[in-house]
Amino acid sequence: MQKVIKVLFKKKGLFDEEDALRVIEIASKKDAREIIVMCEQITDSARRRLWDYARGVQLMSDLTGEKRKVRVEILEGYVSDRVKGVEL
């Protein structure tokens, strides 16, 4: 059974496309299966960038016959100081 690697990213303020690219870079190095973004506000382009990455991983795994999938969850509105995660 394969271990699911979850990565939580936190950003106080506006989460933009540059932050999304940084998240994708870190998550791809860690081979994450779940990406959780906790932010106060997110731009549409950043949201689209994260979803495109998840869809791209799934398409590439279909082509190679691999069973790999990335789940993206976006928690918008409140950033908790108690939750441990990667600060952006």
CB 38 within 8 A of CB 85: yes
| pLDDT(1) > 70 | no
Q: What's the pLDDT score for residue 53?
A: 95
Distance CA 20, CA 82 (A): 22
| pLDDT(65) > 80 | yes
Q: What is the pTM of this model?
A: 0.88
Please give the CATH topology (third level) of the domain spanning 6-80: Transcription Regulator spoIIAA (3.30.750)
Distance CA 23, CA 31 (A): 12
DSSP summary character for residue 4 = P
DSSP bridge partners of 75: 38
Distance CA 54, CA 46 (A): 13
Pairing of strands 6-15, 86-87: parallel
Kind and range of the H or E run holding 48: helix 44-64
For range 34-54, the mean pLDDT: 96
Q: Residues of the chain with pLDDT > 70: what percent?
A: 98
Q: What's the pLDDT score for residue 2?
A: 62
Tens digit of pLDDT for each residue in 7-30?
999 999 999 999 999 999 999 998
